[in-house]
């Protein structure tokens, strides 16, 4: 059935006006079909307007068809035109909402439109004469919410609705309000802006059309049409697009009745479609998916993706969650996006107060509007709006290289496990490909070809964290003691310091020219300071102290049995160290603007050409219960810089560093091998160079000047884009490497363009 016909237009008033819709004070008063009260026009001067639909949960949800808001009454009763003289409020005669018995009125009789600015309130039980209020001059753009609340809003905000528009028409027989021109309707913490809106006062149904904007707390959605049923808490938005704050998604779309009082009745006095184009784009961090350290991938803080853009054919809401069809999501604030998540459908259902179930149909990642990779996981459990860190990993497994424990290349598949309590547990079965191709002669049944990694972490309190890891580089029980590595650490914040209590079994440490060293057992405590700025000098101070009981390899004959060259010994180890550092900016250029074609073409943040100098000194002393004392005083100096801004296609970016460190005091006096200081003079250096477009390559190395031996070398290959990046590193010295994926998070101001818009399409055009 088509929408109810619009009533004849009424000439607009000079200023935008507003109408407050309110219900009867008592459900016992005469009403339409037993509803809470009837609607009439006018009220006594200064009377407080009662709330509309007291206690109703106000939220959208699905009604996707274009059915009428409500069928009109069978017997139409005409509304008489105002006949009162000027100055008396323009009174009109009240008419009953339920027609009394009498002759039928011809169908051609049409009710007249109420002038814009009419305040609509329920009729009293004794047929109170309705009054037409004077046109209100409250500007939509520049109104004062507090003034509007005092002048027009019901005294009880819960369940009230504020409607503003250039032109408003009320049909009392069908109980339908039609608003056109800069429509703004406020209900609870929600807001709808549109070109046209119909409000049915019988079934509490709203329908908006034309440049529809929906705003609820932190969530903004725009679309072609929107339908809402306030009684059912259900509605839908077609051709929708907008932005989502994932951390507050469930709260912002909550249907809890007590949420209605937060900001209820206070209009958001701005037109969402009038926002300027996107600006002030920043990337505070992102997500790294890798088998190794994420620092090289991110170059900054690892944090969840909290803000995304979306488009969908239809988004529907109800009290049980929300559902969307043909969904496109992106972390990229610019269009067309460099990285998209697409799915045929998405369903979000709350499980409890902190968790929601997110289910996708045919999920996939699309790179640069072309290359598509299917995602194998279709169901996720969000905790307080946050996806698991590996939710967008396009690979079913992680890839890594470990030549020491796993004989080279291996693959793993992390599997998060749900456990009670605040801790997170992840188990990653591994298949050791190089060992299978080499030592086992392609024997898939050999347990040595399979490994396992497990990690547990989470808070034990507001200032306490626990971190645990277990690694099995083979499931062959005969070599179990040589395959197992494990550690457990508890970290407690003490003011600005951090205290760590740790136990480790067969910890693996890299000690320069001595290579990897195994520490059989360690138990102890470590106290670390924050970085302390010494006044305005620019000098930073750090210090730490530790006490441990260590079992590790030694080559001291007095600590070993007769005839043993290298073996295990157990000693207490007490250590303290203090470091001072100072950085100098020798030169600093200007970054390009944070736009898609300039500063953010191949980088999540605009690159700043710069040249800097760093100097440092660190002193330490370590005492062992073997009466050994290892002292050290190390000095270092280094220059680092970057040239170019990574905006052009060829050789537009070079990052480099070169440094030198020397031990002024100290020597190899430790009884252990894992912490013995053997590299007294070390030269370090590295470079990363843009080759073409997003392709970069480089290396980082360290050389012992005394022996001429290469201590460590790392090869770097990177594909860098704004929204994502791929990084492959390989260390031939340590025989380690990994392949990682970076997904950047962004924050921005202004209104973004549609996904399929051409590059640099402005989005600050006022849509009318």
Give the model's confidence band at 73: pLDDT under 50 very low, under 70 low, under 90 confident, else very high.
Answer: very low
**What pLDDT is recorded for position 115?**
39
More confident residue, 427 or 254: 427
pLDDT for residue 31 is more than 80: no
Give, as one character, the DSSP assignment of residue 303.
-
pLDDT for residue 79 is more than 70: no
pLDDT for residue 335 is more than 70: yes
Q: Residue 137: CB partners within 8 Å, gap ≥ 6?
A: 14, 15, 17
Cβ contact 192:210 at 8 Å: no
pLDDT for residue 97 is more than 60: no
Q: How far apart are CA 40 and CA 45, in angstroms?
A: 15
More confident residue, 243 or 61: 243
Phi, psi of 71 (to 5 degrees): -65, 145
> What are the helix (H) ranges across 438-542?
480-483
Q: Residue 553: CB partners within 8 Å, gap ≥ 6?
A: 517, 518, 520, 566, 567, 568, 569, 672, 673, 674
Q: How far apart are CA 426 and CA 434, in angstroms?
A: 24
Give, as one character, the DSSP assignment of residue 751.
B
More confident residue, 247 or 13: 247
Give the model's confidence band at 232: pLDDT under 50 very low, under 70 low, under 90 confident, else very high.
Answer: confident
Length of the chain: 768
**What pLDDT is recorded for position 274?**
57
Cβ contact 737:728 at 8 Å: yes
Strand partners, 687: 656, 699
Six-digit token pair at 428? 């990653």
Upper half-sphere CA count for residue 187 (Cβ side, 13 Å): 28
More confident residue, 677 or 274: 677
Six-digit token pair at 316? 């529907």
pLDDT for residue 669 is more than 80: yes
State mean pLDDT over 112-138.
35
User: In this structure, how many other beta carbons lie within 10 angstroms of the beta carbon of residue 90?
Assistant: 19
DSSP three-state, residue 448? helix
Q: How far apart are CA 682 and CA 658, in angstroms?
A: 11
**What pLDDT is recorded for position 450?**
96
Give the model's confidence band at 290: pLDDT under 50 very low, under 70 low, under 90 confident, else very high.
Answer: low
pLDDT for residue 670 is more than 90: yes
Min mean pLDDT across 292-306, 360-374, 524-538, 648-662 is at 292-306
DSSP three-state, residue 511? coil
Strand partners, 704: 682, 709
Give the model's confidence band at 105: pLDDT under 50 very low, under 70 low, under 90 confident, else very high.
Answer: very low
> What are the helix (H) ranges across 497-656?
none
Q: How far apart are CA 44 and CA 23, in angstroms?
A: 15
Give the model's confidence band at 395: pLDDT under 50 very low, under 70 low, under 90 confident, else very high.
Answer: low
pLDDT in tens, 543-580: 999 999 999 999 998 888 777 778 999 999 999 999 99
Q: How far apart are CA 400 and CA 404, in angstroms?
A: 12
Closest to 242 (Cα-Cα) out of 286, 307, 174, 196: 307
Cβ contact 324:312 at 8 Å: yes
pLDDT in tens, 707-752: 999 999 999 999 999 999 988 889 999 888 888 888 888 988 887 8
pLDDT for residue 158 is more than 80: no
pLDDT for residue 628 is more than 60: yes
State mean pLDDT over 614-620.
96
State the average pLDDT for the chain.
Answer: 75
Min mean pLDDT across 26-40, 157-171, 419-433 is at 26-40
More confident residue, 440 or 622: 622
**What pLDDT is recorded for position 272?**
53
Q: How far apart are CA 241 and CA 751, in angstroms?
A: 11
pLDDT for residue 499 is more than 90: yes
More confident residue, 591 or 24: 591
**What pLDDT is recorded for position 652?**
95
DSSP three-state, residue 402? strand
Six-digit token pair at 13? 């008033």
**What pLDDT is recorded for position 457?**
92
**What pLDDT is recorded for position 39?**
32
Q: Residue 425: CB partners within 8 Å, gap ≥ 6?
A: 416, 417, 419, 454, 455, 456
**What pLDDT is recorded for position 276?**
67
Give the model's confidence band at 281: pLDDT under 50 very low, under 70 low, under 90 confident, else very high.
Answer: confident
pLDDT for residue 438 is more than 90: no
Cβ contact 407:395 at 8 Å: no
User: In this structure, how many other beta carbons lie within 10 angstroms of the beta carbon of residue 649?
Assistant: 12
DSSP three-state, residue 492? strand
More confident residue, 165 or 279: 165
Strand partners, 623: 574, 629
Cβ contact 297:740 at 8 Å: yes
Phi, psi of 203 (to 5 degrees): -105, 15
Give the model's confidence band at 319: pLDDT under 50 very low, under 70 low, under 90 confident, else very high.
Answer: confident
pLDDT for residue 82 is more than 90: no
pLDDT for residue 318 is more than 80: yes
Q: How far apart are CA 733 and CA 661, in angstroms?
A: 20
More confident residue, 77 or 676: 676
**What pLDDT is recorded for position 612?**
97
**What pLDDT is recorded for position 392?**
62
Q: How far apart are CA 613 and CA 354, in angstroms?
A: 48
With 0-12 / 13-18 / 19 or more C-beta atoms within 10 angstroms meaning exposed / middle / buried, residue 363 is buried
Cβ contact 753:242 at 8 Å: no
Give the model's confidence band at 389: pLDDT under 50 very low, under 70 low, under 90 confident, else very high.
Answer: low
**What pLDDT is recorded for position 623?**
96
706-722 burial, b at 16+ Cβ within 10 Å, e below that, comes to eeeeebbbbebbbbbbb
Strand partners, 491: 465, 500
């Amino acid at each position: 059935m088509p929408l109810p016909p619009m009533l004849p237009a009424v000439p607009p008033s000079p200023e935008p006006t507003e109408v407050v819709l309110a219900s009867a004070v008592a459900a016992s008063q005469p009403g339409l079909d037993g509803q809470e009260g009837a609607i009439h026009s006018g009220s006594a001067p200064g009377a407080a307007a009662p709330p509309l639909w007291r206690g109703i949960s106000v939220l959208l949800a699905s009604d996707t068809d274009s059915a009428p808001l409500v069928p009109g009454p069978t017997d139409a009763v005409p509304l008489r035109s105002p006949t009162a003289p000027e100055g008396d409020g323009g009174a009109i005669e009240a008419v009953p909402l339920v027609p009394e018995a009498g002759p039928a009125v011809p169908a051609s009789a049409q009710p007249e439109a109420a002038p814009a600015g009419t305040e609509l309130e329920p009729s009293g039980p004794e047929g109170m004469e309705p009054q037409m209020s004077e046109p209100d001059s409250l500007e939509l753009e520049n109104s004062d919410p507090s003034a509007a609340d005092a002048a027009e809003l019901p005294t009880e905000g819960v369940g009230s609705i504020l409607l503003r528009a250039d032109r408003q028409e009320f049909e009392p027989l069908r109980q339908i309000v039609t608003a056109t021109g800069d429509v703004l309707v406020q209900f609870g913490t929600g807001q709808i802006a549109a070109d046209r809106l119909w409000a049915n006062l019988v079934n509490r149904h709203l329908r908006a059309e034309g440049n529809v904007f929906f705003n609820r707390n932190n969530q903004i959605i725009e679309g072609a049409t929107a339908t809402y049923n306030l009684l059912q808490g259900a509605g839908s938005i077609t051709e929708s697009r907008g932005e989502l704050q994932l951390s507050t998604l469930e709260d912002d779309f909550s249907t809890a009745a007590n949420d209605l009082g937060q900001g209820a009745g206070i209009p958001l006095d701005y037109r969402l479609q009038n926002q300027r184009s996107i600006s002030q784009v920043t990337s505070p961090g992102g997500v790294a998916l890798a088998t190794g350290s994420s620092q090289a991938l991110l170059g900054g803080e690892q944090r969840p993706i909290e803000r995304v853009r979306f488009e969908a054919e239809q988004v529907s809401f109800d009290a049980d969650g929300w559902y969307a069809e043909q969904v496109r999501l992106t972390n990229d604030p610019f269009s067309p996006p460099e990285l998209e998540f697409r799915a045929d459908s998405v369903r979000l259902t709350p499980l409890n107060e902190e968790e929601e179930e997110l289910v996708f149909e045919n999920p996939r990642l699309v790179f640069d509007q072309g290359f598509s990779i299917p995602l194998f996981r279709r169901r996720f459990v969000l905790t307080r709006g946050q996806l698991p860190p590996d939710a967008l990993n396009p690979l079913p497994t992680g890839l890594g290289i470990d030549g020491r424990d796993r004989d080279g290349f291996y693959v793993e598949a992390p599997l998060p496990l749900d456990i009670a309590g605040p801790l997170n547990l992840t188990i990653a079965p591994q298949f050791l490909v190089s060992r299978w191709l080499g030592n086992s002669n392609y024997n898939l049944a050999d347990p040595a070809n399979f490994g396992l990694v497990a990690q547990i972490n989470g808070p034990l309190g507001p200032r306490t964290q626990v971190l645990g890891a277990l690694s099995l580089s083979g499931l062959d029980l005969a070599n179990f003691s040589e395959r197992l590595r494990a550690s457990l650490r508890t970290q407690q914040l003490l003011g600005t310091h951090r205290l760590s209590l740790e136990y480790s079994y067969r910890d693996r440490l890299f000690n320069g020219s001595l290579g990897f060293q195994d520490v059989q057992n360690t138990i102890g405590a470590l106290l670390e300071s924050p970085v302390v700025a010494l006044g305005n000098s620019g000098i930073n101070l750090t210090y730490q102290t530790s006490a441990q009981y260590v079992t590790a390899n030694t080559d001291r004959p007095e600590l070993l049995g007769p005839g043993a060259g290298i073996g295990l010994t157990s000693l207490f180890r007490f250590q303290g160290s203090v470091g001072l550092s100072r950085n100098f900016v020798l030169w600093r250029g200007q970054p390009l603007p944070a736009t898609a074609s300039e500063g953010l073409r191949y980088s999540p943040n605009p690159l700043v050409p710069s040249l800097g100098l760093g100097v440092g000194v660190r002193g330490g002393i370590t005492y062992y219960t073997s009466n050994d004392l290892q002292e050290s005083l190390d000095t270092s100096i280094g220059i680092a810089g970057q040239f170019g801004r990574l905006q052009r296609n060829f050789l537009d970016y070079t990052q480099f560093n070169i440094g030198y460190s020397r031990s002024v005091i100290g020597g190899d006096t430790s009884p252990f091998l894992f912490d013995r200081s053997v590299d007294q003079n070390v030269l370090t250096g590295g470079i990363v160079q843009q080759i073409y477009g997003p392709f970069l390559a480089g290396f980082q190395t360290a050389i012992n000047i005394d022996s001429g031996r290469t201590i460590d070398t790392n090869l770097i290959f990177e594909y860098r884009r704004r929204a994502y990046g791929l990084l492959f590193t390989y260390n031939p010295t340590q025989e380690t490497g990994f392949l990682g994926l970076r997904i950047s998070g962004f924050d921005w101001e202004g209104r973004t363009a549609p996904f399929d818009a051409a590059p640099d399409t402005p989005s600050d055009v006022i849509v009318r």
